[in-house]
Homo-oligomer: A and B are copies of this chain.
Amino acid sequence: MSIPLEARVLIADDHALVRQGLARVLEAAPDLDVVAEASDGLEALDRAIGTRIDLAILDVSMPKLTGMQVAVELRKRSPETRVLMLSMYDSEQFLFEALRAGASGYVLKAEADDNIIDACRTVLRGESYLYPSVVTALVRDHVERGADAFDVLTPRELQVVKLIAEARSSKEIAAELVISVKTVERHRQNILEKLGMRDRVELTRYAIRRGLIQA
Protein backbone atom coordinates (compact mmCIF):
# COMPACT_ATOMS: atom_id res chain seq x y z
CA MET A 1 0.00 0.00 0.00
CA SER A 2 1.03 3.63 -0.31
CA ILE A 3 0.77 4.41 3.39
CA PRO A 4 4.16 4.13 5.08
CA LEU A 5 4.28 1.33 7.59
CA GLU A 6 5.09 3.78 10.33
CA ALA A 7 3.53 7.20 9.90
CA ARG A 8 5.52 9.85 11.77
CA VAL A 9 3.13 11.74 14.05
CA LEU A 10 3.45 15.06 15.90
CA ILE A 11 1.26 15.78 18.92
CA ALA A 12 0.70 19.44 19.82
CA ASP A 13 -1.32 20.46 22.87
CA ASP A 14 -0.51 22.78 25.75
CA HIS A 15 -1.62 20.23 28.35
CA ALA A 16 0.79 17.45 29.12
CA LEU A 17 -2.05 15.18 30.20
CA VAL A 18 -3.77 15.46 26.84
CA ARG A 19 -0.50 14.64 25.08
CA GLN A 20 -0.12 11.63 27.36
CA GLY A 21 -3.67 10.56 26.65
CA LEU A 22 -3.17 10.86 22.92
CA ALA A 23 0.12 8.99 23.07
CA ARG A 24 -1.55 6.23 25.04
CA VAL A 25 -4.41 5.87 22.60
CA LEU A 26 -2.09 5.96 19.58
CA GLU A 27 0.13 3.28 21.07
CA ALA A 28 -2.56 0.80 20.16
CA ALA A 29 -1.95 1.55 16.46
CA PRO A 30 1.28 -0.05 15.21
CA ASP A 31 1.14 2.05 12.03
CA LEU A 32 1.22 5.36 13.96
CA ASP A 33 4.46 6.42 15.56
CA VAL A 34 4.54 9.49 17.79
CA VAL A 35 7.94 11.01 17.11
CA ALA A 36 7.46 14.57 18.39
CA GLU A 37 5.47 16.60 20.87
CA ALA A 38 4.88 20.33 21.27
CA SER A 39 3.24 22.39 24.00
CA ASP A 40 2.54 25.54 21.98
CA GLY A 41 1.93 26.63 18.40
CA LEU A 42 5.41 27.92 17.63
CA GLU A 43 7.02 24.76 18.94
CA ALA A 44 4.60 22.71 16.86
CA LEU A 45 5.56 24.61 13.72
CA ASP A 46 9.28 24.24 14.44
CA ARG A 47 9.03 20.51 15.05
CA ALA A 48 6.86 19.93 12.01
CA ILE A 49 9.18 21.68 9.57
CA GLY A 50 12.37 20.55 11.33
CA THR A 51 11.48 16.88 11.43
CA ARG A 52 9.76 14.97 8.64
CA ILE A 53 6.21 14.69 9.92
CA ASP A 54 3.45 12.80 8.13
CA LEU A 55 0.64 13.80 10.47
CA ALA A 56 0.32 16.75 12.85
CA ILE A 57 -2.38 16.51 15.50
CA LEU A 58 -3.01 20.11 16.57
CA ASP A 59 -5.04 21.49 19.45
CA VAL A 60 -7.10 24.50 18.36
CA SER A 61 -6.24 26.48 21.47
CA MET A 62 -2.52 26.83 22.09
CA PRO A 63 -0.32 29.68 23.33
CA LYS A 64 1.66 31.76 20.83
CA LEU A 65 -0.03 30.34 17.72
CA THR A 66 -3.49 28.76 17.47
CA GLY A 67 -3.94 25.42 15.79
CA MET A 68 -5.54 27.19 12.83
CA GLN A 69 -2.54 29.46 12.39
CA VAL A 70 -0.14 26.54 12.55
CA ALA A 71 -2.20 24.69 9.95
CA VAL A 72 -2.06 27.67 7.57
CA GLU A 73 1.73 27.90 7.93
CA LEU A 74 2.20 24.17 7.56
CA ARG A 75 0.30 24.11 4.31
CA LYS A 76 2.76 26.66 2.93
CA ARG A 77 5.99 25.31 4.36
CA SER A 78 5.35 21.60 4.60
CA PRO A 79 2.44 20.74 2.30
CA GLU A 80 3.00 17.00 2.54
CA THR A 81 2.18 17.08 6.27
CA ARG A 82 -1.44 16.16 6.97
CA VAL A 83 -3.22 18.04 9.73
CA LEU A 84 -5.79 16.70 12.17
CA MET A 85 -7.40 19.41 14.30
CA LEU A 86 -8.34 18.68 17.90
CA SER A 87 -11.04 20.86 19.44
CA MET A 88 -13.00 21.05 22.66
CA TYR A 89 -16.08 22.41 20.96
CA ASP A 90 -18.74 20.82 18.82
CA SER A 91 -19.28 23.56 16.26
CA GLU A 92 -19.77 23.35 12.52
CA GLN A 93 -18.40 26.85 12.29
CA PHE A 94 -15.03 25.82 13.70
CA LEU A 95 -14.99 22.65 11.67
CA PHE A 96 -15.24 24.59 8.42
CA GLU A 97 -12.65 27.10 9.52
CA ALA A 98 -10.28 24.26 10.32
CA LEU A 99 -10.82 22.65 6.93
CA ARG A 100 -10.29 25.99 5.22
CA ALA A 101 -7.08 26.49 7.21
CA GLY A 102 -5.76 23.31 5.69
CA ALA A 103 -6.76 20.62 8.15
CA SER A 104 -7.93 17.29 6.74
CA GLY A 105 -9.81 16.30 9.85
CA TYR A 106 -11.56 17.65 12.93
CA VAL A 107 -11.96 15.61 16.12
CA LEU A 108 -13.60 16.50 19.43
CA LYS A 109 -11.56 16.08 22.59
CA ALA A 110 -14.50 14.52 24.36
CA GLU A 111 -14.85 11.83 21.70
CA ALA A 112 -11.22 11.60 20.66
CA ASP A 113 -10.35 8.37 22.45
CA ASP A 114 -12.90 6.41 20.45
CA ASN A 115 -12.20 7.59 16.95
CA ILE A 116 -8.81 9.25 16.82
CA ILE A 117 -7.05 6.26 15.28
CA ASP A 118 -9.65 6.01 12.56
CA ALA A 119 -9.28 9.72 12.00
CA CYS A 120 -5.49 9.50 11.72
CA ARG A 121 -5.62 6.68 9.20
CA THR A 122 -8.32 8.37 7.13
CA VAL A 123 -6.39 11.62 6.99
CA LEU A 124 -3.14 9.83 6.11
CA ARG A 125 -4.91 8.21 3.18
CA GLY A 126 -5.55 11.75 1.93
CA GLU A 127 -9.24 11.77 2.76
CA SER A 128 -11.15 14.04 5.13
CA TYR A 129 -12.31 12.92 8.54
CA LEU A 130 -15.34 14.43 10.26
CA TYR A 131 -16.18 13.18 13.71
CA PRO A 132 -19.42 11.18 13.67
CA SER A 133 -21.71 13.59 15.50
CA VAL A 134 -20.88 16.48 13.17
CA VAL A 135 -22.48 14.77 10.22
CA THR A 136 -25.90 15.08 11.85
CA ALA A 137 -25.22 18.72 12.55
CA LEU A 138 -24.17 19.29 8.97
CA VAL A 139 -27.26 17.73 7.52
CA ARG A 140 -29.49 19.68 9.89
CA ASP A 141 -27.72 22.85 8.99
CA HIS A 142 -27.89 22.43 5.24
CA VAL A 143 -31.57 21.66 5.47
CA GLU A 144 -32.53 24.51 7.80
CA ARG A 145 -30.70 27.34 6.12
CA GLY A 146 -29.71 26.78 2.52
CA ALA A 147 -25.99 26.21 3.09
CA ASP A 148 -25.66 29.96 2.78
CA ALA A 149 -24.19 30.81 6.14
CA PHE A 150 -20.66 30.06 7.31
CA ASP A 151 -19.63 33.65 6.86
CA VAL A 152 -16.36 33.60 8.66
CA LEU A 153 -14.76 36.66 10.12
CA THR A 154 -12.18 38.49 8.06
CA PRO A 155 -8.58 38.72 9.33
CA ARG A 156 -9.17 42.30 10.43
CA GLU A 157 -12.31 41.30 12.30
CA LEU A 158 -10.42 38.49 14.03
CA GLN A 159 -7.88 41.04 15.23
CA VAL A 160 -10.69 43.14 16.67
CA VAL A 161 -12.35 40.14 18.33
CA LYS A 162 -9.09 39.21 19.99
CA LEU A 163 -8.62 42.70 21.42
CA ILE A 164 -12.23 42.91 22.58
CA ALA A 165 -11.85 39.58 24.36
CA GLU A 166 -8.75 40.91 26.07
CA ALA A 167 -11.03 43.52 27.66
CA ARG A 168 -9.70 46.44 25.67
CA SER A 169 -12.02 49.39 25.13
CA SER A 170 -12.89 50.66 21.68
CA LYS A 171 -10.63 53.64 22.26
CA GLU A 172 -7.69 51.40 23.14
CA ILE A 173 -8.33 49.16 20.16
CA ALA A 174 -8.45 52.17 17.85
CA ALA A 175 -5.08 53.32 19.18
CA GLU A 176 -3.62 49.83 18.84
CA LEU A 177 -4.75 49.34 15.25
CA VAL A 178 -4.23 53.01 14.32
CA ILE A 179 -7.77 53.52 13.07
CA SER A 180 -10.64 55.62 14.35
CA VAL A 181 -12.94 54.61 17.20
CA LYS A 182 -15.81 54.72 14.74
CA THR A 183 -14.21 52.03 12.62
CA VAL A 184 -13.63 49.82 15.62
CA GLU A 185 -17.31 50.17 16.49
CA ARG A 186 -18.22 49.44 12.89
CA HIS A 187 -16.15 46.23 12.99
CA ARG A 188 -17.62 45.18 16.31
CA GLN A 189 -21.11 45.70 15.00
CA ASN A 190 -20.43 43.66 11.86
CA ILE A 191 -18.89 40.90 13.94
CA LEU A 192 -21.81 40.72 16.35
CA GLU A 193 -24.22 40.58 13.45
CA LYS A 194 -22.28 37.88 11.59
CA LEU A 195 -22.09 35.67 14.65
CA GLY A 196 -25.56 36.48 15.93
CA MET A 197 -24.28 37.62 19.28
CA ARG A 198 -25.43 40.40 21.56
CA ASP A 199 -22.36 41.81 23.30
CA ARG A 200 -18.67 41.63 24.16
CA VAL A 201 -19.23 38.93 26.76
CA GLU A 202 -20.48 36.47 24.15
CA LEU A 203 -17.62 37.50 21.87
CA THR A 204 -15.16 36.74 24.65
CA ARG A 205 -16.41 33.19 25.03
CA TYR A 206 -16.30 32.80 21.25
CA ALA A 207 -12.67 33.97 21.18
CA ILE A 208 -11.73 31.42 23.83
CA ARG A 209 -13.50 28.56 22.06
CA ARG A 210 -11.80 29.59 18.85
CA GLY A 211 -8.39 29.60 20.53
CA LEU A 212 -7.79 33.30 19.80
CA ILE A 213 -7.05 33.87 23.48
CA GLN A 214 -6.66 31.74 26.55
CA ALA A 215 -9.26 32.16 29.31
List residues of chain A with CB under 8 Å of any chain B CB: 14-25, 39, 88-89, 109-114, 164-167, 197-202, 204-205, 208-209, 213, 215
Copy tally for this chain in the complex stands at 2
A-B contact pairs, 18 of them (CB 8 A): A15-B88, A15-B112, A16-B111, A17-B22, A20-B21, A20-B22, A20-B24, A21-B21, A21-B22, A21-B24, A23-B24, A39-B110, A167-B199, A201-B201, A204-B204, A205-B208, A208-B208, A215-B215
Which of B15, B114, B199, B213 has a CB less than 8 Å from the CB of A110? B15
Distance (Å) between the CB of A68 and the closest chain B CB? 16
Instruction: State the 10 A-B residue pairs at the shortest beta-carbon distance, nearest first.
Output: A21-B21, A20-B21, A17-B21, A208-B215, A167-B201, A16-B113, A24-B24, A15-B109, A167-B202, A204-B204
Q: Which residues of B contact A199 (CB under 8 A)?
A: 167
Known contacts A198-B167, A204-B204, A205-B215, A15 near B16 by CB under 8 Å: no
Q: Decide if B21 touches A19 in the complex (CB within 8 Å).
A: yes
Q: Which residues of B contact A110 (CB under 8 A)?
A: 14-16, 39
Q: Decide if B215 touches A16 in the complex (CB within 8 Å).
A: no
Distance (Å) between the CB of A11 and the closest chain B CB? 10
Q: Which residues of B contact A166 (CB under 8 A)?
A: 201
Q: Decide if B25 touches A20 in the complex (CB within 8 Å).
A: yes
Closest chain B residue to A199, Cβ basis? B167
Bound-state Cα–Cα, A199 to B164, Å: 11
Distance (Å) between the CB of A91 and the closest chain B CB? 11
Distance (Å) between the CB of A197 and the closest chain B CB? 8
Bound-state Cα–Cα, A8 to B105, Å: 37
Q: Which residues of B contact A202 (CB under 8 A)?
A: 167
Q: Decide if A113 touches B201 in the complex (CB within 8 Å).
A: no
Known contacts A24-B24, A209-B215, A215-B209, A17 near B109 by CB under 8 Å: yes
